[in-house]
Amino acid sequence: MGTSTTTQDSTMSESPPPPTTFREGGYGWVCVACTFLMNAHTWGINAAYGVFLSYYLSSDIFPGTSSLEYAFVGGLSISCAMLIAPLATYLDKRISTRFVLNLGAVLETLSFIASSFAKKSWQLFLAQGACFGFGMGLCFCGSVGITSHWFEKKRSLVNGIGSAGSGIGGLIYSLAVGKMIPELGLPWSMRTLGIICFVVNIPCANLLRVPSQKRSATSVKAPTFPLSLFKRLDFALLLAWAFLSALAYVTLLFSLSSYCVAIGLTQQQGSLASALLSLGQAFGRPAVGLLSDHFGRIFISMIASFLAGLLSLVIWIFASSAGLTYFFAIIVGLFAGTLWASAAPPCRGDCGNSTSRDCAGGYLLRNEVGSSKPYLRVQLFAGFVYVGSAACLAWLLIEVRRKRRVARLETDKSDL
């Protein structure tokens, strides 16, 4: 009798606990706010590099540094942010998400402090390029998936809100940097940004967390990535779209402010153009995410990529006044960041393969200095690369529909 009772108690203790009812939102809204703020103080501040680039090109603060080398700094930051993803994932599993986020916040702060003391271009590469990129990547990889654990019905909405933080941050810090540099000087502008990043990102890093009932699931070892995917045409087309979209986006983002200076506008007007581009993204990214749920991610991404390219070719090339440039910045911002809004999770690992592609704008500009349209090659490059990325998705749509027709035919034959 005693043995039977003991066995029964042991069996009962080993049975799985009853499923916990999923509660939509709750503390999740705190995580949404923290993700929004972290995006504003990582990708948003990174978007202000166009203002820094404009200042570097118009001054002689680092003598002997070429436009290509300055463009390399911005490209290096984004490349490092993507390249750090495998390490960020490993640290997240082996240690904790909180460790990854705090490490990223500290590295980002150190990057600005170190940049404020830079005297040579290679020091700028290491500080504002590599160190900032690693910090930004750790913060992004650690925070990007957390809000999805707290929501089911409103998942697209909350991810859109979190992603919009980069647009709002870009709007604020493009204007702020354009104002701080002439009034505070470059060193104290850098230090101010570093202090702000630390004050905002550290609390957010410690407030972000996954729901308790899902923590055990996140600790399960992730499945091995199937290398056979690279043999599939549809996967190759998706990667090609991600690669080309990132290439065109970075070229546009880092060229717009310096373009304004090149056509005779002031540096503050250039920073305003960058801010308006970020404002467009603040509205465009959530809208693209929601539209993707209703009309399909591939279709909406294709339309947005094509429109970004068309606007670059039709409006940007002929924008020779402040008003038209501002209009272009807002309208293209609605579509330019489609990659991050609608398809960043499945293809973010492809965006950090090379630093050289992010410097393409600087290389093309270097070959056009002195011409009547010094940014023509940059504008054509961004426009046609966006159109090319849209063509990849058009091909992908055709391939997906072809596979669906084949599947239906096989189903009909099996029914016979």
Q: What is the mean pLDDT of the chain?
A: 80
Residue with tokens 């909350």: 158
Q: What percent of the chain has pLDDT over 90?
A: 25
Residue 21, domain member (yes or no)? no
Q: What amino acid occupies position 292?
A: S
- The amino acid occupying position 162 is G
The full DSSP string for 180-233 is HHHHH-HHHHHHHHHHHHHHHHHHHHHH----GGGHHHHTSPPPPP-GGGGG-H
- CA separation for the pair 397, 292 (Å, rounded): 14
Q: Is residue 297 part of a domain?
A: yes
SS3 151: coil
**Nearest partner of 150 among 139, 161, 166, 138, judged by Cα:** 161
Would you say residue 374 has pLDDT above 50? yes
- Least reliable range by pLDDT among 21-25, 124-128, 347-351: 347-351
Whether residue 149 is contained in a domain is answered as: yes
DSSP letters spanning 5-30: HHHHHHHHHHSPPPPPPP--STTHHH
Residue 16 lies in a domain: no
Q: What is the pLDDT of residue 231?
A: 74
End-to-end CA separation in angstroms for the chain:
60
Q: What pLDDT shows up at residue 55?
A: 86
The secondary structure of residue 84, as a DSSP letter, is: T
For residue 2, being part of any structural domain is answered with: no
Has residue 96 been placed in a domain?
A: yes
Per-residue pLDDT tens over the stretch 106-116: 999 999 999 99
Tell me the mean pLDDT in the region 204-217.
Answer: 75
Asked if the structure places residue 198 within a domain, the reply is yes
Assess whether pLDDT exceeds 60 at residue 186: yes
Q: How many domains does the chain have?
A: 1
23 — pLDDT class (breaks 50, 70, 90)? low
Q: Does the pLDDT value for residue 305 go beyond 80?
A: yes
Q: What is the pTM of this model?
A: 0.70
Residue 155 belongs to domain with CATH number: 1.20.1250.20
Q: Which domain holds residue 142?
A: 27-211+226-415
Spell out a b/e string for 148-166, using b for 16 or more CB atoms within 10 Å of the CB, else e. bbbbeebbbebbbbbbbbb
Structural domain contains residue 332 = yes
